[in-house]
Structure formats: structure tokens, C-alpha cells
């Protein structure tokens, strides 16, 4: 069997990360695909580490089961009820898309009170889930996939990447630490917030530290949003969304420009220039679905919603493999310039 090697860049987006779970599940099912490295922020980091641990512990099926166990645990511990509000995505799948009923009052409070006041005991269900389901010692010792987990250093406002040997529960919680909802996570005397604030997800580490010619990005943020926000709540949430997506587009544009310069040069002297010349970009996304989901729905962890996103992710990955597998190692199936006109 002829296998093709890729790297993965996984965006963060709260419970929308269940879409990425579906994509990864479908990729793991295809034995023609090998994964060399994964970068991720927030939910993307969770997916990356959980899958890498599962692969180290039990191969492809172990990776699939680890992801399923993680997301089922997240959905079982969903703290809010869901307002009945159904939409159908392009495949006709009915999904609970409304924000959880308790989310709006909670987010309103975050504008006036810090997480140190609202959550004095620093309760985070993800800590218990990760402690129960991921053996970090085994991951550090036997994990073969190169991991690049994004966090944001609070003191400098800059990106801090953690690699395989450094990854533990605190690193993952830091990568998913929303400043308005959770206390900053302290690691070796430094405080960290959500990695999506500075890189969502990191791209250049996959170019610099890996050798695979193909990078697949799993996108969760809809671009563009055609509806102009007009209420104070809509404007506030669109600004938040833009903050998390703008870092990705900035890095993507930088990669595009670097690749253009490398390809226009007469001779590629350095390793990085040669990598940029050979790099192929691919994207798996579901803009039709994501554009219908509200910013609040990223905190909807109800089982029906999680399962619907998973199924959509599997479907989109299956379509991509059917249409583009032969392009791997040959050419990009996605043009960077298309995002920038």
C-alpha cells in the first residue's frame, strides 16, 4: 500500500472542535494516510494530544477510541441545558445549535467580574477528563507524532509553543484558557492564556520542524460572516471571533509571501526555502455549517450537538479524500491567494 504523509494544523473553537474529531476519525480510518506532526490551539490542542496519546497506546484504533472517549466525556459533563432550536446543515442533519440557556447570563457577568471572582476554586472539568483519559508519561515516552501546542504568554502577549517532552495537563489547560472564564495557568513561574490569541493554529512549526510535503488545515471559524453585527452583544462577539481568527490569517499570509519568494528565487540555498517550494496546502472545512452557528454555540457541549459536528467532520473529510487524495505529494488542493483576493 502506498502511504502518503501529511501534517495537520488544527484550529481551536470550543465545542466546534468536535468537527475536527470527525475529520481525524476519518483520516485514521484511511491507512493510506500517515501523520508526521500536528499543531493546535485550544480545542485543536486537545484533539492533537488525545489522538497522539491514543496512537501511542493502541495504534489507529487506539487513536480513534481515545478521541471518542474524550468527546463523549465532554458531552456528558455539559453544564448547561439547551434551548430547543433546530437547524439543518447542508446534508439535512438536524443539530441542536442554540446556545446553552445558562451561557448568556454567565458571559454577561464576565464583563464585570473576573474568573478569580466568578470561579474562586478554579474549577475546570477538563482537568479531570484529561487526568482520567490521557497518560502523559506514556505520551512523552512513546508518542511518535511531533506536537506543537500553542499558548499565549500573559506577560509578553507572545506565542509560546510546547513540544512533546514538555506536554502535560497544565500545558493543555493553558492552551484552552479563555481569559474571561478561567484563571491564567501557571507553568514554570509564567502565566499563560489561550493559544488561539496568538496563533490559531501555528503553521510555521510544521514547515520548519517536519518533512512532510503536505499540510492539512482543519478550519472551524467561518470567513466571511455576511451578516453585519448591529446589537452590542453581536458586535462584542464578532470582535472576539475576529481576534481569534486574525492570527491565523496573518500567519497564512506570511506563509504565502514566504512561499512566493522561495519559488521565484533562482536557487533555493537553504532547507527552509526548499521546504517552502515543495509545500502543498490543503483545507478541510464546512463553511456552510459553521456560518450558521453562533459564537455562543462554541460552549454548547450537549451530546446531540457534539455528535452532529462529529458526523459533519467525518463527511467532509471523506469527501476531501475522495476528491483530493491523489493530489497529496503533487500539488496543493487549496490556493492561499484565494483568501486574500
Interacting residues of 314 by C-beta distance below 8 A, sequence separation 6+? 22, 23, 25, 26
Active-site option among 42, 286, 297, 333:
42
Q: Is 42 a catalytic residue?
A: yes
* b/e per residue 229-242 (b: at least 16 CB within 10 A): eeeeeeeebeeebe
Query: Would you tell me how many other CB atoms lie within 10 Å of the CB of residue 335?
Result: 11
Cell 470561579 belongs to residue: 119
Cell of 235: 458586535
Cα angle for residues 168, 242, 97 (degrees, 5° grid): 80
Q: Where are the beta strands (DSSP E) in the chain?
A: 4-10, 33-41, 86-88, 94-96, 146-153, 158-162, 185-187, 190-194, 214-218, 280-284
Omega into 224 within 30° of 0, i.e. cis?
yes
The phi and psi torsions of 36 (rounded to 5 degrees) equal -90, -45
The phi and psi torsions of 235 (rounded to 5 degrees) equal -65, -45
| Pairing, β 280-284 against β 185-187 | unpaired
Residue 161: strand, helix, or coil: strand
Residue 157 backbone zone (phi > 0: left; psi -120 to 50: alpha; other: beta): left
Q: In this structure, are residues 45 and 149 in contact, taking their beta carbons and an 8 Å threshold? A: yes
Active-site option among 39, 194, 245, 286:
194
Q: In this structure, are residues 136 and 164 in contact, taking their beta carbons and an 8 Å threshold? A: no
Residues marked active site are found at: 42, 194
Amino acid at each position: 500500500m502506498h502511504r502518503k504523509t501529511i501534517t495537520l494544523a488544527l484550529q481551536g473553537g470550543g465545542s466546534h472542535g468536535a468537527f475536527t474529531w470527525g475529520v481525524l476519525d476519518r483520516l485514521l480510518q484511511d491507512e493510506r494516510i500517515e501523520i508526521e506532526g500536528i499543531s493546535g490551539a485550544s480545542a485543536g490542542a486537545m484533539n492533537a494530544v488525545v489522538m497522539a496519546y491514543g496512537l501511542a497506546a493502541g495504534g489507529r484504533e487506539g487513536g480513534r477510541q481515545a478521541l471518542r472517549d474524550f468527546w463523549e466525556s465532554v458531552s456528558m459533563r455539559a453544564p448547561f441545558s439547551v434551548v430547543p432550536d433546530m437547524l439543518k446543515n447542508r446534508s439535512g442533519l438536524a443539530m441542536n445549535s442554540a446556545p446553552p440557556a445558562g451561557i448568556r447570563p454567565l458571559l454577561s457577568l464576565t464583563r464585570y467580574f473576573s474568573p478569580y471572582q466568578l470561579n474562586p476554586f478554579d474549577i475546570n472539568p477538563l482537568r479531570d477528563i484529561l487526568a482520567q483519559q490521557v497518560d502523559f508519561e506514556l505520551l512523552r515516552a512513546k508518542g511518535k507524532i511531533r506536537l506543537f501546542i500553542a499558548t499565549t504568554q500573559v506577560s509578553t502577549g507572545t506565542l509560546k509553543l510546547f513540544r512533546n517532552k514538555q506536554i502535560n495537563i497544565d500545558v493543555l489547560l493553558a492552551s484552552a484558557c479563555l481569559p474571561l472564564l478561567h484563571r491564567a495557568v501557571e507553568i514554570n513561574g509564567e502565566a499563560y492564556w489561550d493559544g488561539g490569541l496568538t496563533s490559531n493554529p501555528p503553521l510555521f512549526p510544521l514547515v520548519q520542524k517536519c518533512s512532510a510535503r503536505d499540510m492539512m488545515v482543519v478550519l472551524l471559524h467561518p470567513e466571511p460572516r455576511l451578516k453585519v453585527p448591529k446589537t452590542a452583544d453581536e458586535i462584542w462577539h464578532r470582535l472576539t471571533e475576529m481576534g481569534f481568527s486574525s492570527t491565523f490569517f496573518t500567519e497564512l499570509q506570511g506563509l504565502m509571501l514566504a512561499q512566493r519568494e522561495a519559488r521565484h528565487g533562482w536557487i533555493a540555498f537553504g532547507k527552509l526555502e526548499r521546504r517552502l517550494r515543495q509545500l502543498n496546502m490543503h483545507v478541510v472545512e464546512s463553511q456552510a455549517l459553521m456560518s450558521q452557528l453562533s459564537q455562543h454555540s462554541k460552549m454548547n457541549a450537549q451530546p446531540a450537538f457534539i455528535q452532529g459536528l462529529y458526523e459533519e467532520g467525518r463527511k467532509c473529510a471523506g469527501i476531501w479524500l475522495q476528491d483530493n487524495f491523489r493530489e497529496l505529494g503533487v500539488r496543493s488542493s487549496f490556493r492561499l491567494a484565494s483568501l486574500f483576493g
